[in-house]
Amino acid sequence: MKFLDECKIYIQSGDGGNGCVSFRREKFVEYGGPDGGAGGRGGSVYVEAIPNLNTLIDYRYQQHFRGARGQHGMGRNRSGTSGEDLILKVPVGTQILADDKETLLADLTTPGQIVRLARGGDGGYGNQHFKTSVNQAPRRFDPGWPGEEQWIWLRLKLIADAGMLGMPNAGKSTFLAAVTRAKPKIADYPFTTLHPQLGVVSVFDKEFVLADIPGLIEDAHMGAGLGHRFLGHIERCRVLIHMIDGTQEDVVNAYEVIRNELEEYLEELADKPEIIVLNKVDSLYDDEIAEKKAALEEVSGKKVLLCSAVARQGTQDIIEQVWEIMKEGDEEKARIMETKLYVPIPDMDAVVTDDESDD
């Protein structure tokens, strides 16, 4: 299945049905009168987030979606049936933006979440609605109200617990294949990964989702390489794994380039918890490993983990570290919620009444 994470579509809700002009005429019935029914409501357009879907490819070859029109009213006070609603299925994590590509209309982050984007037009009244004591034979009816229409953007941001980033050929796909059952494309040339990959990691009888995004290079925020369009897929990640190729000469520059691209893209993204990993240590001598590790720790101020994804050395320590950071985040969130929900009960003995204060 081809990966598509952004597309533009046109939506239009259904128009309401017209009202009806009709008069009751029956044999052996002395009095008639207006009996035109109202039109039905037009179908609305909804967007629903569903699990087990990770691409917007369904909207690549069809960009126009319209709700059904409501049925017109009929005689004998029969109202028209409402038009069928249109529900668009999108992956969990999809953002819906207005035509300006900046105004956020909805953010679907949970399975089953559904949002109405265009309300169907109301049906028009028939002549029975306009009957009064002074106008007992009205010939007036209302046309149905038109539906709403607009162009919208669908932007997918994959929901993962942890995300890997780094320069091309840093070994991210190899690491993903080593710790999950995912089978990403792996080769010895840059930009092997052309779109994000997901895998499920098992640790301590628990599971979390790990995302691998294509490699970044210097000036990616200006469109160099694949640009930074895929960085949106790790905006929702709770932990970032910064993978650095240990076989390159200047590992410090590689670290600083990626950090600069994160800050250029989104400052909040650069503030996320980060695990720095020096990969491919199986190809280095011990003194080289120690030198490059010390240089990275000095410039980052953080502990650097050693790993060889191809030999599966140190991979378990990394995923355990990821799990510990996420666990601490959950505990901190629980403490915050407990503090917000806790309301102290005042000590009734310490409350001074008006009578006591007068004394």
- H or E segment to which residue 97 belongs: strand 94-97
Least Cα distance to 46 among 65, 71, 64 occurs for 65
pLDDT at 337 (0 to 100):
61
Contact 43, 82 (CB under 8 A): yes
In the three-class reduction of DSSP (H, G, I as helix; E, B as strand; rest coil), residue 143 is classed as: coil
Q: What is the C-alpha separation between 170 and 206, in angstroms, rounded?
A: 27
Phi, psi (degrees; rounded to nearest 5) at 15: -75, 155
CATH superfamily, domain 6-156, is GTP1/OBG domain (2.70.210.12)
Contact 123, 19 (CB under 8 A): yes
Q: Which two tokens stand for residue 201?
A: 């990691």
Q: Kindly tell me the burial class for residue 310, based on how many C-beta atoms sit within 10 Å of its own C-beta (0-12, 13-18, 19 or more).
A: middle
Secondary structure letter of residue 96 according to DSSP: E
Least Cα distance to 88 among 111, 109, 117 occurs for 117
pTM: 0.78
Contact 279, 175 (CB under 8 A): yes
For strands 274-279 and 94-97, give the pairing.
unpaired
Secondary structure letter of residue 185 according to DSSP: -
- H or E segment to which residue 50 belongs: strand 45-50
Which residues of the chain does CATH 2.70.210.12 include?
6-156
In Å, what is the CA distance from 157 to each residue of 93, 153, 214, 286? 5, 13, 14, 40
With a cut of 70, list the residues of the chain below it in pLDDT. Answer: 1-2, 221, 225, 333-334, 336-359
Q: What is the C-alpha separation between 73 and 69, in angstroms, rounded?
A: 12
Residue with tokens 């799990």: 323
> Which amino acid makes up residue 343?
V
Q: Which two tokens stand for residue 98?
A: 């207005």
Least Cα distance to 281 among 244, 329, 317, 239 occurs for 244
pLDDT at 338 (0 to 100):
65
pLDDT at 356 (0 to 100):
47
For strands 86-91 and 45-50, give the pairing.
parallel
CATH superfamily, domain 162-339, is P-loop containing nucleotide triphosphate hydrolases (3.40.50.300)
Residue with tokens 């009888």: 205
Q: Which residues pair with 154 in a beta bridge?
A: 7, 96
Rg of the chain on CA atoms, in Å: 31
Which residues of the chain does CATH 3.40.50.300 include?
162-339
Task: Give the number of other CB atoms < 10 A from CB of residue 55.
Answer: 17
What's the sign of the alpha-carbon dihedral 18, 23, 24, 27?
A: negative
For 145-158, give one letter per residue: b (16+ CB within 10 A) or e. Answer: bbbbeeebbbbbbb
Task: Give residues with Cβ within 8 angstroms of 36, minimum separation 6.
Answer: 19, 20, 21, 22, 23, 73, 74, 75, 77, 126, 127, 128, 141
Phi, psi (degrees; rounded to nearest 5) at 174: -65, -40
For strands 94-97 and 64-66, give the pairing.
unpaired
Q: Which two tokens stand for residue 233?
A: 């897929």
pLDDT at 40 (0 to 100):
96
Q: What is the C-alpha separation between 96 and 45, in angstroms, rounded?
A: 13
